[in-house]
Structure 1
Amino acid sequence: MIMVAVFIICLALGVPIMATIGMATIVPIFVDGIIPMTMVVQTLYTGVDQFPLIAVTGFILAGALMGTGGITERIIEVAASLVGGFAGGLATVTIVACMFFAAISGSGPATVAAIGGIMLPGMFKRGYDRDFGAAVAASGGALGILIPPSNPMIIFGVVASVSITQLFMAGLIPGLLIGVMMIGAGQLVSYKRKYVGSGEPFSARRVMAAVRRGKWALLAPVIILGGIYAGVFTPVEAAAVAVFYAFFVGVFVYRSLTWPGFLESLRVTAMTSGTVIVIVGIALSFGRLLTIYQIPQMVAEGLSAVSSDPIIVLFLIAIFLIVIGTFMETLAQIIILTPVFLPLVKSLGVDPIHFGVIFVVCCEIGFLTPPLGANLYVAMKQADVSLEAVSKAVLPFLAALIVGLVPIILFPSLSLFLPQLLMGN
């Protein structure tokens, strides 16, 4: 109880999540005097000393290099040639471009920054409201943690000891499903607000010309995901390939990656991945303490008392994750709560890969809900609007996400079809 009380009090006081988790871990150990403090140090060290975490840094760097190396612009050009002429076309272009970029970067906020920074000025020039533009960029960026490669999926794979490659496969169909639903939400709002497209009719010739100009950009997700799915390389090796590919294309093909841009990419990567690694280490110590105090068993008993139906339990867990995601950072959420819920859902016959996809979709919703929604803060700065305005404008996209979560829970085959097809049981 001391651990939970310290955690809630620190969150309520606005203490940074790393310090909150650290305090909630250390204070009970001091009070009880039973568990040695060396446990925290050992767990922290072993937590960050895991080979798959290299992939997180790699995909963050690849996304940064693609943003400064000209790949992002080519992706947007191809998306615009496909759907830019329809009513509300620029909103659709933004979401489609985010889906392409998500298949490279693995990060939600990075996707918002890369695509939103280019698309939003054009949307505003064509009469799109700033709050709606920010909401579109934030929502499209949320796809960055579901469409593989995904940094949260890597963390889930590490914590749950499941195949990261299978998680990547499992996230593809749900990611495309939710992407289509977001496009539909954007179209409905665009129709209601009378936003127009580019005015250019669809032209197969124009699409092919854009594809030829952007072929190097379009090859990136094909090489990365194709290599993983075909078993040519592991997710860690895929991250290294993504970095090399982004550097090569940015320097030698598009010649847009400059020395200052390269240094800025390294700086962003160091800041982001450093934060991730520290959170992982501290949160794993917290999770270890939860296990020692038998919190997972107590939660399992409580939920089992409500229902033994796996579908009902999954919906209850999803509701809990969505609520707690409004004030808990995604990686901390995965590391702390996966050991709590995973034993329960496995005992009910739920596939851990399927549960991982559900977990990440719930975290995706957290990226769009204040007060912690990271995508909202990135988008509001780009669009120069208030948090209240973008939070209101993002509601149709949140509704699309939540509606899309329902079939993902009800039909495990949406998540498991590709892993079973390509890798067997």
Structure 2
Amino acid sequence: MVIEAAILFGVFFLLMALGLPIIYALGLASMATLCTTFPLETSAYVVAQRMLAGLDSFTLLAIPFFILAGSLMNHGGIAIRLIDLARLIVGRLPGGLAHCNVVANMLFGSISGSAVASCAAVGSVMTPLQKREGYDPGYAAAVNIASSPAGLLIPPSSTFIVYSLVSGGTSIAALFVAGYLPGLLMGLGLMVVAGIIAKRRGYPTSPRPTGQDVVTTLLHAIPSVLLMVIVIGGIITGVFTATEASAIAVVYTLILTMVVYRTVSFRTLPNIVLDAAMTTAIVLPLIAVSGAMSWSMSLESIPQQLSDLLLGLSDNPLVILLLINLVILCIGMFMDITPALLIFTPIFLPIVTQFGMDPVHFGVVLTFNLCIGICTPPVGSALFVGSSIAGVPISSVVRPLLPMFLMLFALLLAITYIPQISLALPNLLLN
């Protein structure tokens, strides 16, 4: 059994180190593992069969629909309206533009479903504003980078849909609702750190808005924010499923961007659909090939082996959870959130459920943990996008990021060891 695990992970990481795309590395590693049990032809047939089975799910339709809705939002000028709303809410705090950046990322990220898109859209507006008001460019970029993944925890979130599928059908509605408090805590924690730094450096606050500014900002932003209310309200009340909600989100964003805001036209719509299709073409094959990898791991009892290994180190649930978090933090530094979820959920979920951990709680912990990896070197996608938009080297961003990383890690431990942070709202609203 140890040989099979060594082949699976050895081949996978070797192919990744050689620069092979992750989808091929997953498929070939799965096939190599199955070759220890079956002939080559049978292994290839089984991998292809399990890939098709991995995509045979009605729930998966939610992913391309939410991606399309996010693409419409990205191209529809939604970011500037949400930034104005964020400035209205938190602009009067010390370092108001930094707080505005965090809140705008929470709002836009939850709607677009992409940390990188949020980092680019919000950062391209907020970073020049902060520079003009005397903010250090490295600090401005760090705030934008650290807060960009917050929206992945605040529904609607395609990340939770992926986790639901790979975890064996964990309730999407429960995951959506469970993400609210951790997502808000992430944003608030970063605002505390950003506010302390801003206070010490004497960064200015935004001017007091006039009554007319308040009315105009609300009228422009409320239709965008209403998307979250419609989607989550409909799911919680049982009016429609998550898959149906994704289709409704597309219709709503089409009306919003083409009729209300008039920022998307029939002329630009094909390119937006193509952009969403290209993103979908990256995500869905990953889900397909991860189904083959999960099946091969299950056949060779690899999750059980790893469980025995961890339990051999300690039988204390607190220690095991800490070790799992440290492993996932390291993984997140080198791997994007979607493939990491697909690969490691089947490995660690059986371990934590032995200790009675709720799959919804673990899904939030896993997602929060991997969100940190989006911002960390050496391959954090938001880190490179945010520093590029700010026009500063990564070395100038890492230092102001350090206290924010410490805050995020402290929040991760709190969410891990206090289940009610994640489960209170699902227990209240769905039971």
Q: TM class, shorter-chain normalised?
A: over 0.9
Point out where structure 2 has 5 or more consecutive residues left out of the alignment: 1-5
Counterpart amino acid of residue 410 in structure 1: Y
Q: Could you tell me how far 1:123 is from its partner in structure 2? A: 2.0
User: 1:255-270 counterparts in 2 under 5 A?
Assistant: 255-270=262-277
Counterpart amino acid of residue 8 in structure 1: F
2:321 is equivalent to residue 319 of structure 1? no
* Separation in structure 2 between the aligned mates of residue 191 and residue 81 of structure 1, nearest angstrom: 19
Counterpart amino acid of residue 408 in structure 1: I
The answer (yes or no) to whether the contact 1:48–1:281 under 8 Å persists in 2 is yes
2:13 is equivalent to residue 13 of structure 1? no
- Which of residues 147, 164, 172 in structure 2 aligns to 1:164? 172
Give the 3 Å change call, closer, same or farther, for CA 414–149 of structure 1 in structure 2: same
Q: Could you tell me how far 1:289 is from its partner in structure 2? A: 1.5
Counterpart amino acid of residue 12 in structure 1: A
- Which of residues 169, 172, 186 in structure 2 aligns to 1:178? 186
* Separation in structure 2 between the aligned mates of residue 30 and residue 232 of structure 1, nearest angstrom: 47
Match of 1:291 in 2: 298
The SS at the match of 1:37 is helix
Match of 2:3 in 1: none
Q: Could you tell me how far 1:152 is from its partner in structure 2? A: 1.5
Point out where structure 1 has 5 or more consecutive residues left out of the alignment: none
- Which of residues 26, 40, 43 in structure 1 aligns to 2:31? 26
Cα distance per residue 1:212-241 (max 9 Å; x no partner):
332212222211222222222211111111
* Separation in structure 2 between the aligned mates of residue 263 and residue 381 of structure 1, nearest angstrom: 28
Give the 3 Å change call, closer, same or farther, for CA 52–118 of structure 1 in structure 2: farther
Match of 2:252 in 1: 245
Give the TM-score normalised by structure 2: 0.92
Counterpart amino acid of residue 362 in structure 2: F
Decide which moves more: 7-16 or 314-323.
7-16
The SS at the match of 1:368 is coil
Match of 1:302 in 2: 309
2:374 is equivalent to residue 367 of structure 1? yes
Q: Could you tell me how far 1:310 is from its partner in structure 2? A: 2.5
The SS at the match of 2:58 is coil
Cα distance per residue 1:366-419 (max 9 Å; x no partner):
111122212112222322233333344322222221111111111111111111
Give the 3 Å change call, closer, same or farther, for CA 148–44 of structure 1 in structure 2: same
Decide which moves more: 6-15 or 39-48.
6-15
- Which of residues 112, 115, 122 in structure 2 aligns to 1:108? 115
Q: Could you tell me how far 1:30 is from its partner in structure 2? A: 4.6
Give the 3 Å change call, closer, same or farther, for CA 266–381 of structure 1 in structure 2: farther
Count of paired positions = 423
Counterpart amino acid of residue 9 in structure 2: V
* Separation in structure 2 between the aligned mates of residue 253 and residue 216 of structure 1, nearest angstrom: 9
* Separation in structure 1 between the aligned mates of residue 99 and residue 55 of structure 2, nearest angstrom: 39
* Separation in structure 2 between the aligned mates of residue 385 and residue 269 of structure 1, nearest angstrom: 30
* Separation in structure 1 between the aligned mates of residue 338 and residue 220 of structure 2, nearest angstrom: 37
- Which of residues 31, 35, 51 in structure 1 aligns to 2:58? 51
Match of 2:214 in 1: 207
* Separation in structure 1 between the aligned mates of residue 126 and residue 178 of structure 2, nearest angstrom: 29
Match of 1:406 in 2: 413
The answer (yes or no) to whether the contact 1:68–1:261 under 8 Å persists in 2 is no
Cα distance per residue 1:184-230 (max 9 Å; x no partner):
122123233332233x1366764344213322122222112222222
Q: Could you tell me how far 1:29 is from its partner in structure 2? A: 3.8
The SS at the match of 1:268 is helix
- Which of residues 169, 187, 194 in structure 1 aligns to 2:202? 194
The answer (yes or no) to whether the contact 1:3–1:24 under 8 Å persists in 2 is yes
Cα distance per residue 1:234-276 (max 9 Å; x no partner):
1111111111111111111111223454333223212211101
The answer (yes or no) to whether the contact 1:47–1:284 under 8 Å persists in 2 is yes
The SS at the match of 1:276 is helix
The answer (yes or no) to whether the contact 1:104–1:242 under 8 Å persists in 2 is no
Give the TM-score normalised by structure 1: 0.93
Match of 2:228 in 1: 221
The answer (yes or no) to whether the contact 1:310–1:350 under 8 Å persists in 2 is no
